[in-house]
Amino acid sequence: MHQKLTSTLSQYDKIVLVGGGTGGHIQPIVSLVHSLDIESNNYLWIGGADSTEEKTAKENDIEFQSIPTLKLETTRSWRSLLYPFYTIAGFWRARQILQVQEKTEENIAVFSKGGPGSVAIGLAAWSLYIPLHIHESDTVPGRSNKILAKFANTIFLGFASAGKYFDTKKCEIVGQILDPMFEGQVSSIKHKIEWKTSKKHILVICGSQGSRAIFEEIVKNYAGNDEYEWIISLGKLNTRMKKNFEKIPDCQALEWIAQIDIAHLIQDTDLAITRGSATTLAELTAFQSVKLVIIPLPYSAGNHQYYNALEYEKMGHRVLEQKNLHQLTETIQYNV
């Protein structure tokens, strides 16, 4: 992890963590906690009640408190009309939580990855003169970070190209926040998932929800084909497709692959097929031996996955737009 990020946050006695809604907001926070030399009881995670971030915080022994949040899949939803009310309610609840924290520990800061509730918490911190630091993973920033950037002390960037959206005096280019295991610290650990053959290895990871379109294209073209060995992370929305992949020899289709197994698998992966998530792209290329076929999610906010993918295309990886998914087989053959 970049020294500027660790040195900035390590100066505080307590850090309030903010990030939720998707794995892209949540996993970097977990990686940050694993990287900093700070005891878990010196963190507080604030987010939505009964949320993925609450579950993740508890799994990592991090104290969690909730505020009212509204997760919007699209700004076109009528529910977006409720956003100001949730933000106001969330602001006051977050302010109460932060005031209590200040009474026990003055040297605190807020670190935000964005997501539902992050604007409310960030503004609450600013109103109490609590330092606010944000991290933007993508080439095109999300709505929350665009707002919070005006109030943040530091804006950490995953891509240098995102700097054009912010006050450059506040920006620090630190790259993605990855777990220490992606620095090679996994060799002595027993892993649940292993490659089983000496064939070319293809790893397919398309985010926490998966991608039906990509999966269907793979099954259609590789049923009965034993040329490669596959490991596929289905995601929570595509678990029913597991039986479809039984048609492909030497294929392990799994609901989810833990980070520790990903860090192990990519050390012997020949080709990875993925979306344009900034964190996933960085994880898959951590050991610089994996070739990527990147199929950006076509309706990601601000088309940020496409622009993330273009950054990796400059490094020699292949970008395949979803409208050209019929070219996937040819692309695999050319790149594996």
Note the pLDDT of residue 161.
97
- For residue range 66-98, what is the model confidence (pLDDT) as tens digits? 999 987 665 567 777 888 999 999 999 999 999
Span 259-263, mean pLDDT?
90
Q: Is 166 helix (H, G, I), strand (E, B) or coil?
A: coil
CA distances, 281 to each of 9, 34, 180, 294, 311 (Å): 24, 20, 16, 9, 10
Span 288-315, mean pLDDT?
94
> Is the separation of the CB atoms in 233 and 166 below 8 Å?
no
Do strands 171-173 and 154-157 pair parallel, antiparallel, or not at all (unpaired)? parallel
- For residue range 145-168, what is the model confidence (pLDDT) as tens digits? 999 999 999 999 999 999 999 999
16 φ/ψ angles, rounded to the nearest 5 degrees = -90, 120
pLDDT exceeds cutoff 80 at 326: yes
Tell me the C-alpha distance between 26 and 102, whole Å.
Answer: 24
Tell me the C-alpha distance between 286 and 8, whole Å.
Answer: 23
Note the pLDDT of residue 207.
79
Note the pLDDT of residue 70.
87
182 φ/ψ angles, rounded to the nearest 5 degrees = -85, 10
pLDDT exceeds cutoff 90 at 9: yes
Report domain 3-177's class: alpha beta
CA angle 33, 18, 53 (to 5 degrees): 80
Note the pLDDT of residue 268.
94
Name 185's Cβ contacts closer than 8 Å, sequence gap at least 6: none
Partners of residue 43 on adjacent β-strands = 15
38 φ/ψ angles, rounded to the nearest 5 degrees = -130, 135
3-177 and 200-335 share one fold: yes
Question: Quick one: angle between helices 328-335 and 212-222, nearest 10?
Answer: 70
* Rounded percentage of the chain residues whose pLDDT exceeds 70: 96
Note the pLDDT of residue 81.
85
- For residue range 203-221, what is the model confidence (pLDDT) as tens digits? 999 976 669 999 999 999 9
Instruction: Report which residue type is found at 264.
Output: H
| Sheet (strand 291-294) strand order | 251-254, 228-233, 200-205, 271-274, 291-294, 318-319
Domain ranges of the chain: 3-177, 200-335
> Is the separation of the CB atoms in 276 and 321 below 8 Å?
no
pLDDT exceeds cutoff 60 at 133: yes
* DSSP sequence for 183-234: GTTTTTS--S----SSSEEEEEE-TTT--HHHHHHHHHHHTT--SEEEEEE-
- What tokens does 41 get? 């009881």
pLDDT exceeds cutoff 60 at 298: yes
Note the pLDDT of residue 1.
76
Question: For the stretch 50-81, what's the b/e string if a residue is b when 16 or more beta carbons lie within 10 angstroms of its beta carbon?
Answer: ebbbbebbeeeebebbbbbbbeeeeeeeeeee
pLDDT exceeds cutoff 90 at 303: yes
Nearest to 14 by CA among 113, 134, 111: 111
- For residue range 232-247, what is the model confidence (pLDDT) as tens digits? 999 888 999 999 999 9
Q: Is 102 helix (H, G, I), strand (E, B) or coil?
A: helix
200-335 folds as Rossmann fold (3.40.50)
Partners of residue 254 on adjacent β-strands = 233
- What tokens does 97 get? 């939580």
Span 37-56, mean pLDDT?
95
pLDDT exceeds cutoff 60 at 117: yes
- What tokens does 308 get? 């993330």
Identify the band that residue 187 occupies on the pLDDT scale cut at 50, 70 and 90: low
Identify the band that residue 32 occupies on the pLDDT scale cut at 50, 70 and 90: very high
Note the pLDDT of residue 139.
98
Task: Report the mean per-residue pLDDT for the chain.
Answer: 93
Note the pLDDT of residue 316.
96
Note the pLDDT of residue 183.
79
